[in-house]
Amino acid sequence: MRKYTPKDNVQAKSYYTDRYWVAPRVPREAVEAGTHFADVVEAMKAFAKESYIEVGQLVIHIDAAENFDAIKTLKEQCGYSQCSEQSAVDYLAKDGEFELFWQLLNIKEAKRVRIVCRLKEGEAIESIVPLFNSANFAEREMFDMFGIKVNNHPFLKRILMPDDWEGHPLLKTYPLHGDEFASWYEVDKIFGKEYRDIIGPENRDPARIDRYDTKRFSRVGYEVPFGADISEGEKEQPIEYSETLLVDYNKKAGKQLDQRK
Amino acid sequence: MQQPNKLTPFFENLNFERDDNTMVINFGPQHPSAHGQLRLVLELDGEQVVKAYPDIGYLHRGIEKMAENMTYNEFLPTTDRLDYIASTSNNYAYALAVEKLLGIEAPRRAQVIRTMLLEVNRVISHLFFIATHALDVGAMSVFLYAFREREFGMDLMEDYCGARLTHSAVRIGGVPLDLPEGWVENMVAWCDKVDKEVKNTYEALLTENRIWRMRLEDVGVISAEDALNWGCTGIMLRGSGVEYDIRKEEPYELYSELDFDVPVSDRCDSYGRYRLYMEEIHQSTRILRQLVQMYKESDPQLMAHAPQYISATKEEIMTQNYALMQHFVLVTQGMRPPKGEVYVPTESPKGELGFYIKSEGEPYAYRLKCRAPSFFHTGLLQDILVGTYIADVVTIIGSTNIVFGEVDR
């Protein structure tokens, strides 16, 4: 029987698991009264669902719908004048949610706050570009990598991947080596989909190396004459590619992605 | 679509036929001044930029995706490929983030060596900046001089770790090797040489040079408010009059014990930033000289003692059974940090380089986000290029000191 691999998370997993081992947690400290963070917590009281200090930085959990107001309060009342980073974590397999975070910096106090919220799959988040321009690129990257839509973003478009890409690479359902669409991207684009059969998977990979080809590749360690046959009668083995997942990203039912199977 | 004929030939990079009499040009991605793979779509009215659209992603290798599929130690050499001008600063930022997650601290000597490597890398990166920036603006000879000193700096890195560009010179929990014999003396000699050359050659060639000043002064002006708003860090922020250096404000490693100044310029233009780069080289050599004494006073331990996460020294592995077992488990399975999330900022030569790591207690990071300074500095281009002239575009790109390894990741 073939080994079962979960389809909702295809990232590398440890081969060894101890069912009795419980991972410890990075200590979360309570906010002490009288500190700068206590003032922040006080100002953010209307939004904060939970707040604690983790590795020297204040973490505030908020509701996804209130992200703009919460960050606006933080900027205007607490002096957090820079949004260092903004991105998401994929928890779709476990909770059906994304975890979004905003990393903010107060230049005067040299303190950092992380705003965290959970966003259900398919929901959109409000853009904070009116508050911080640095979120412009960061939100585009989040959209590109996770497919999270951002409302009222001035120019929500893919940023790192090509515009005509299918799928969102940082989702846990997206395999490291790319999916069906990714492996045929260049062929589809340059020659058209019908050329998949003509080119075939063995010629798809431009970095492919033929072990027996002595015309274009030299041997390391033992040199052979140009064009010599070194296969010793052995048949050439086609390179095996890892089985790619047939994920229908556009949710078009009935669309068969892999024509070859 | 263009209809090419004899009178209007087809130019791949240009589009003349626009209703509003503007011209759209593609700057890059294969432009020598694009600092890698920047494609900048510029809409020009005459020679003035009306609209600028930085298009990135030509060097995207999915490093954050790779981080989710590699154990923590496996991923470390990949960080070399972020800011490949100063690799150790990436290795260090990543190692520090993992150490914070694990709750361990590198031993004193490792800290001294790491700080030394960081500062050597900072000087190398700044020399690279001045070389390429001067070349972009048109000063060829500075490029030759600055690359000479950078070569010597890379020789130092080669003497330490064997690699010139992709160092991987830092490990999670410390450093793998002690400094080789004579390294400290070579380093001090190099510092003297760099100080002398920067002062007598580069600054003498450029600082009061009439052409250099005309090309740089009041070009690429970023107000302090804009710099903060667009997420500028490092010299881009200090060049706009905001005094914020993570080494001073949120000290890591030995920076709290070291005596150095943070130069700030309120000129807000490319010339001010150029002056800051020059001054930071002097400050870095000043730090390096102070570290020599600290190195001599430190104990020889190089890796932190945390058997759950970090292998023992080679000697112990070869002689003690338990250390060997531990090493075997750590190599085959990888370390399992506690559950939690951490964001650790460091001051890389380009600005704030931070790693956000979300751990679920597995040997693979659940999510790793690299906060690259150049990514945000590239975003800023769409704002500051508007209204400037096409001749200044190259100066401004050079002045932001972006590196595409970390923009595209």
Across the interface, whether the CB atoms of A176 and B66 are under 8 A apart is answered yes
For A110, nearest residue in chain B (alpha carbons): B249
Residues in chain A with CB shorter than 8 Å from the CB of B62 are 169, 176
Are A130 and A182 within one domain? no
CB B110 within 8 A of CB B369: no
Where is the domain boundary, A136, A151, A166?
Answer: A151
The pLDDT tens digits for A50-70 are 899 998 899 999 999 999 999
Q: In what order do the strands lie in the sheet with A82-91?
A: A28-29, A50-54, A57-62, A111-120, A97-106, A82-91
A53, A84, A87, A112, best to mutate vs chain B, most B CBs in 10 Å: A84
DSSP secondary structure letters along B267-327: S-SHHHHHHHHHHHHHHHHHHHHHHHHHHHHS-S--B---TTTS---HHHHHH-HHHHHHH
Of B69, B230, B378, nearest to A11 by CB-CB distance is B69
If asked whether residues A218 and A119 sit together in one domain, one would say: no
Q: Burial level of A224, CB count in 10 A (0-12/13-18/19+)?
A: exposed
Tell whether A111 and A42 lie within a shared domain. Answer: yes
Residue A43 lies in a domain: yes
**Tens of pLDDT along B354-381?**
999 999 988 999 999 999 999 999 999 9
Rg for chain A (alpha carbons), in Å?
25
| DSSP secondary structure code for residue A54 in this structure | E
Amino acid present at B204: A
Set of chain B residues whose Cβ sits within 8 Å of the Cβ of A134: 229-231, 376, 379
Residue A32 pLDDT > 70: yes
CA distance B393 to B375: 18
pLDDT at A146: 93
Q: How far apart are CA B112 and CA B174, in angstroms?
A: 10
Do residues A143 and A187 both lie within one domain?
no
Specify the pLDDT at position A180: 80
- Nearest CA of chain A to the CA of B250: how many Å? 7
Same domain, A114 and A188: no
Domain ranges of chain B: 63-371
Domain count across chain A: 2
Query: Is residue A86 classed as helix, strand or coil in its secondary structure?
Result: strand
- Helix orientation angle between B183-197 and B108-137, rounded to the nearest 10 degrees: 30
Do A121 and A184 have their domain in common? no
Contacts with A17 from chain B: Cβ below 8 Å: none
Mutation to test the B interface, candidates A15, A55, A74, A99, most B Cβ within 10 Å: A55
* CB-nearest partner of B339 from A11, A23, A89: A23
- On whether the CB atoms of residues B186 and B159 are closer than 8 A, the answer is yes
CB contact at 8 A, B86 and B125: yes
Asked if residue A2 has pLDDT above 80, the reply is no
**pLDDT tens digits along B308-325:** 899 988 888 999 999 999
CA distance B57 to chain A (A): 4
> Chains A and B: how many Cβ contacts under 8 Å?
133
Q: How far apart are CA A128 and CA A135, in angstroms?
A: 6
Please state at what angle helix B270-297 crosses helix B390-400, rounded to 10 degrees. 20
Contact call for residues B337 and B72 (beta carbons, < 8 A): yes
Residues A59 and A116 in one domain: yes
Contact B299, B174 (CB under 8 A): no
For tokens 């759950």, the residue is B308
Tokens of B19: 């209703």
Which positions in chain A touch B359 (Cβ < 8 Å)?
26
State yes or no: pLDDT of A207 exceeds 80: no
* A83 lies in the same domain as A188: no
pLDDT by residue for chain B (409 residues), tens digit each? 556 666 665 555 566 556 677 788 888 787 777 777 888 888 888 888 988 889 898 889 999 999 999 999 999 999 999 989 999 999 999 999 999 999 999 999 999 999 999 999 999 999 999 999 998 888 888 999 999 999 999 999 999 998 999 999 999 999 998 999 999 999 999 999 999 999 898 888 888 889 999 989 889 899 999 999 999 999 999 999 899 999 988 899 889 999 999 999 988 899 999 999 999 999 999 999 999 999 999 888 889 988 889 998 888 899 999 999 999 989 888 899 999 999 999 999 999 999 999 999 889 999 999 999 999 999 999 889 998 998 899 899 989 989 988 998 8
Confidence of residue A253 (pLDDT cuts 50, 70, 90): very low
Question: A140 to chain B: nearest residue by CA?
Answer: B379
Nearest to A16 by CA among B63, B316, B329: B329
**Bridge partners for B54 per DSSP:** B40
Domain that holds residue A244: 175-250
User: Could you give the CA distance from residue B134 to residue B126 in angstroms, rounded to a whole number?
Assistant: 12
A48 and A87 in a single domain? The answer is yes
Chain B CB contacts of A112 under 8 Å are: 343, 345
Nearest residue in B to A128, CA atom: B229
- Same domain as A125, residue A212: no
Given the candidates 1.10.645.10, 2.30.30.60, 3.40.50.300, 3.40.50.720, the CATH classification of the domain at B63-371 is 1.10.645.10
Alpha carbon distance B211, B219 (integer Å): 13
Please indicate whether, in this complex, the C-beta atoms of B338 and A24 are within 8 angstroms of each other: yes
Give CA–CA dist B99/B65, Å, rounded: 21
How high is the mean pLDDT of chain B?
A: 89
CA distance to partner chain B, nearest, from residue A1 (Å):
26
Q: What's the gap in Å between the CA of A176 and the closest CA on chain B?
A: 7
d(CA B234, CA B277): 10
- Residue A62 is assigned to a structural domain of this protein: yes
Nearest to B368 by CA among A145, A16, A186, A79: A145
Give the chain A residue nearest B333 (alpha carbons): A14
Tell me the CATH number at A139: 3.30.460.80
